[in-house]
Structure 1
Amino acid sequence: MQSTDARILRGAAIPTGLAGLVAIIAGLLFAGGKGALGAAIGVALVLVFFTLGMLVVSYVSRLSQQLVMMAGLLGYLVKLVAVFALVAALNHVTVWNAHVFGWTVLSLTIVWLAAEVNATINARTPYVESGHASRDLGKPGT
């Protein structure tokens, strides 16, 4: 993983984890132990899914820049299907509060995306490869 990708990952994961702690406390206060468990499972789901998505896109970007968009979209599709399958499989489970789980996943997804956008904007990622630019400086017409 490149250092820029690692900074973006930290910039998204840390605020999401902190918001997750708030969600667990809120779940405990509003719905008791089942609420806290639902929130904790939601926090784990969001952190694992989005971290894996970033790792896959980072890995693919080292292989081929042309495949990055496809990897991101395919990763999104896989996450979407996995969440639907998880919700369908655990539809009648009463061990945790499903409403707290759902609201936690929704809110932490928004927090992750906002934090990731902010970290990406502030990452100062170079968009010109300096090796090519310095090599082309001596050529006529450049």
Structure 2
Amino acid sequence: MHSTDARILRGAVIPTSLAGLGAIIAGLLLAGGKGALGSAIGAVLVLVFFTLGMLVVSYVSRLSQQLVMAAGLFGYLVKLVAVIALIAALNHVTAWNAHAFGWTVLALTIVWLAAEVNATINAKTPYVDPGRGSRDLGKPGA
């Protein structure tokens, strides 16, 4: 993983984790133990899914820059299908509060995306290859 990707990942994981703790406390206060459990499951789901997505895209970016968008879109599709399958499989489970789960997933998704955008903007990633200067432009294969 590139150091820039690691900084962006940290910049998204830390605020999302803190918001997840807040969601678990809110779930506990609003819906008791089942609410806290629903919020905890939602927080873990968001953190795991988005972290895996970033790790996959970071890995693919080292292999081929042309495949990054395809990897991101395929990862999104896999996550979407997995979440739908998870919700369908746990549809009738009463051990946790489904409303707390849903609101936590929605809120933490927004927190993750906002934090990731903020970390990306502040990462100051160069858009040109700093290893190639003007002296390399006249050489064959440059």
Partner of 1:15: 15
Structure-2 residue corresponding to 1:35: 35
Matches within 5 A, 1:30-109: 30-109=30-109
Distance 1:122 1:33 in 2: 38
Q: Which residue of 1 aligns with 2:6?
A: 6
- List, as ranges, runs of 4+ consecutive aligned residues in structure 1 with deviation greater than 6 Å: none
2:128 — aligned with what?
Answer: 128
Q: How much has 1:135 moved relative to structure 2?
A: 4.4
What is the aligned partner in structure 1 of residue 113 from structure 2?
113
Q: How far off its partner does 1:126 sit?
A: 1.0
Unaligned runs of 5+ in 2: none
Residue identity opposite 1:42 in structure 2 = G
Bigger CA drift: 125-134 or 74-83?
A: 125-134
Instruction: Render the CA deviation track for 1:35-71: whole Å, top value 9, x for unaligned.
Output: 0000000000000000000000000000000000000
RMSD: 1.2
Give the structure-2-normalised TM-score.
0.95
Report Cα offsets for 1:76-135 as digits up to 9, x if no partner. 000000000000000000000000000000000000000000000000111111122254
Q: Could you tell me how far apart the structure 2 residues matched to 1:47 and 1:30 are? A: 22
Distance (whole Å) between structure 1 residues aligned to residue 45 and residue 21 of structure 2: 14
Distance 1:37 1:52 in 2: 22
